[in-house]
Structure 1
Amino acid sequence: MIYKRYMKKILDLLLAFFGIVALSPVFLILIICIKMDSKGPVLFKQRRIGKGKSEFNILKFRTMKIDTPKDTPTHLLQDPESYITRVGKFMRKTSLDELPQIINILKGEMSIIGPRPCLWNQYDLIAERDKYGANDIYPGLTGWAQINGRDELPIDVKAKLDGIYVEKISFCFDVKCFFGTIISIVKHDGVVEGGTGEMGKVKETASTEGTVEFQGNERNLG
């Protein structure tokens, strides 16, 4: 497919370039707020799994205090709220902490749309994604799983949704994921800090696009 092999990468680079230029005032404001709110660097680096299970350092605006344990998912921390800064809470709810990943896209490590890159030591999710070929494409700033549950999804369901994205990659599907993400951010869908990954009920529907209906809580590490 021409889009999957060539056009997707070109669009990623073009949109990332124009995005970082257009959002530069937002970057500046967030940098000032982070520095005024707490001690530590502005950016946070973390080892993540990329295309072909290669490792890279994902970039985020720092939302947690500098004494937070490294490489530990938020939902595995005791009292995670105590580690999150005041500005960090706002950035997490609005997903503004993810903006520096535009740099990862410009470096060719990520795509705008794709499975969210998991931690290097999140072996269970990596293994599940292998079943669906989701480790064979570039991870994304957002993806199909993010607009169908985000932090509330258990690992097996999240991997299955990532697999659905792999099967349906196209310009139209990427556009759907992009605008679906905007709606999810505005509504704060699926954002639950410090959850354990337990769900009250998970029910898969037979919809043609593989949407999953569920009830429950989990704080993911997206």
Structure 2
Amino acid sequence: MNAPAFRIEGERLLPRVSPSGLAPSLERKRLQVYGTQIALDSALLVLCFFGTALLWFGHVPDAAELLVGNLLLPIYLTIALHNGTYSLITLTDWKQAAGRMASAVLIAAVLLTFIAYFVKVSDSFSRLVLFGGVSSTLLVLSSTRFFTTRWIRKHWGPSPMNLLLIDAGGPPIAIPHSYRIDAYEHGLSPVLDDPHMLDRLARYLRNMDEVVVNCPPELRAAWAMVLKGSGVHGEVTSGIVREIGALGVVHRENADVSSLLVSTGPLGMRDRAAKRMFDILVSGLALLALSPVLLAAALLVKLEDGGPVFFRQRRLGQGNRFFRIYKLRSMKVEQSDADGNRSASKDDDRITRIGSFLRKTSLDELPQLINVLQGDMSIVGPRPHALGSQAGNKLFWQVDRRYWQRHCLRPGITGLAQIRGFRGATDKESDLTGRLQADLEYLAGWSIWRDIRIIFATAKVVVHDRAF
């Protein structure tokens, strides 16, 4: 029977791991707190200046008398978003939270004063309203920080992050406020040739902000490779730097242990939020605009042989987790090849007449917009491959160990590899090398503008001679 995982602080027992992970996501809760703080800060700042103006002028202030507060707010938010006022450390340390907030407010007030002076409108500002508004804002927002951090520590614990310690045969260590599991009791091992094991591991790593693996020397390289494809901050407790490609050394202040950082998520929280919002917007608009085309194509598939319209196939996605990809069926029902053991080829007898047209025009990929809305895929990213995909006579991950690293982001409908022409069958090992290199290059240099350029470039290669 699997041993339960638990938080060391308080030893909170957890149930057996489920598809949703060992614990609920704290990242989502952090985002909710940041959003609430921004809205509350904005409202309280405006109220503080309104109250100050009301006391000073003796009547309900008009727009001109509230101008100083209204101008200060956007300057404050701009500075606050860049100086860490809404950051990880400010969730549980009220002194840090109050200090960074106060810094943003005071810098905003100074900047506003200088700007007003240079544009010669400072005479229209009441200095007492500015001073009183800033002072009351500092007092009120500091109080909200104090109560917010106390509430978070009470309900989340001393740490605002989920940290998982995997004991995999290394020397005994303890990291306070972490979830802890025994790899052997849970039947976990870093077997890179087994996608099913990687999917199991992904369930344990899901919703974790940091993962530390404590294992013997002979397993460190394998665990490091698993972590590199997980999309999380991953560490192994020690090892040879050159062998595992360590990104740095981590000394934990609250635990007598040092470890080597071997993986980090390729995108920060803001970038992930921007990419996800971009995906939802583009996929929603695309589904709306292309729904007549999708319906017509689906009707043609159904009319040809009466079989199912959609083809669903299990593939590895972000963090090596399985998901079901949707495509318009382009092969005969009895020869659909759910595991992808045989790559499609030119004049493939399994492909229907309508299917050949759908593949050449890439229309068979349209249902993946549903995968994007569901959160399994992205508009742009490394293409997800079938489990049985081979380059030459080897499975993809047997050709190059770096293959697993491409799974640290959501897979995409299109990507850098596709617009460079790396599409179609992989008859030779070298056919995989180019697309893998392009995927790793994309991960290393992501930006929202690059995604937009890739989308426009994709329009030029929608119809291509490698689609069969």
TM bin, normalised by shorter chain, reads 0.7 to 0.9
What's the counterpart of residue 58 of structure 1?
Answer: 325
Q: Which of 133, 152, 162 lines up with 2:439 in the alignment?
A: 162
The structure with the largest helix share of the pair is 2
The answer on whether the counterparts of 2:340 and 2:387 sit within 8 Å (CA) in structure 1 is no
Written as runs of structure 1 = structure 2, the 5 A alignment for 1:181-196 is: 181-186=458-463, 188=464, 191-193=466-468
Give SS of 2:418's match: coil
Q: Quote the Cα distance in structure 1 between the aligned partners of 2:404 and 2:446.
A: 13
| Structure 2 segments unaligned to the other structure (5+ residues) | 1-267
Give SS of 1:133's match: helix
State the one-letter code of the partner of 2:338: K
Q: Which of 121, 125, 129 lines up with 2:396 in the alignment?
A: 125
State the one-letter code of the partner of 2:306: K
Aligned: 1:134 with 2:406: yes
State the one-letter code of the partner of 2:396: L
Aligned: 1:144 with 2:421: no
Aligned: 1:9 with 2:9: no
Distance change in 2, residues 1:53/1:122 (3 Å): farther
Moved more, 2-11 or 133-142: 2-11
Q: Displacement of 1:4 after TM fit?
A: 2.8
Q: Displacement of 1:130 after TM fit?
A: 3.5
TM-score, reference length from structure 1: 0.78
Distance change in 2, residues 1:125/1:134 (3 Å): same
Give SS of 2:383's match: coil
TM-score, reference length from structure 2: 0.38
Once the two structures are superposed, residues 156-175 of structure 1 have per-residue CA deviations (whole angstroms, 9 ceiling, x without a partner) of: 22111100110111112111
CA RMSD of aligned residues (A): 2.3
The answer on whether the counterparts of 1:13 and 1:106 sit within 8 Å (CA) in structure 2 is yes
Distance change in 2, residues 1:115/1:180 (3 Å): same
Q: Which of 108, 129, 135 lines up with 2:375 in the alignment?
A: 108
Once the two structures are superposed, residues 54-80 of structure 1 have per-residue CA deviations (whole angstroms, 9 ceiling, x without a partner) of: 000100000000111332355377x86
Q: Quote the Cα distance in structure 2 between the aligned partners of 1:31 and 1:87.
A: 10
Q: Which of 29, 52, 70 lines up with 2:296 in the alignment?
A: 29
Q: Quote the Cα distance in structure 1 between the aligned partners of 2:354 and 2:343.
A: 19
Identity in percent: 38
Q: Displacement of 1:115 after TM fit?
A: 0.4
Give SS of 1:58's match: strand
Q: Quote the Cα distance in structure 1 between the aligned partners of 2:434 and 2:338.
A: 26
The answer on whether the counterparts of 2:342 and 2:389 sit within 8 Å (CA) in structure 1 is no
Larger RCO, structure (CA 8 Å, separation 6 or more) = 1
Give SS of 2:405's match: coil
The answer on whether the counterparts of 1:4 and 1:169 sit within 8 Å (CA) in structure 2 is no
Give SS of 1:48's match: strand
What's the counterpart of residue 239 of structure 2?
Answer: none
Structure number with bigger Rg: 2
Aligned: 1:38 with 2:305: yes
Q: Quote the Cα distance in structure 2 between the aligned partners of 1:25 and 1:98.
A: 15
Distance change in 2, residues 1:182/1:42 (3 Å): same
What's the counterpart of residue 215 of structure 1?
Answer: none
Distance change in 2, residues 1:174/1:3 (3 Å): farther
Distance change in 2, residues 1:121/1:73 (3 Å): closer
State the one-letter code of the partner of 1:38: D
Q: Which of 49, 53, 72 lines up with 2:340 in the alignment?
A: 72
Q: Displacement of 1:192 after TM fit?
A: 5.0
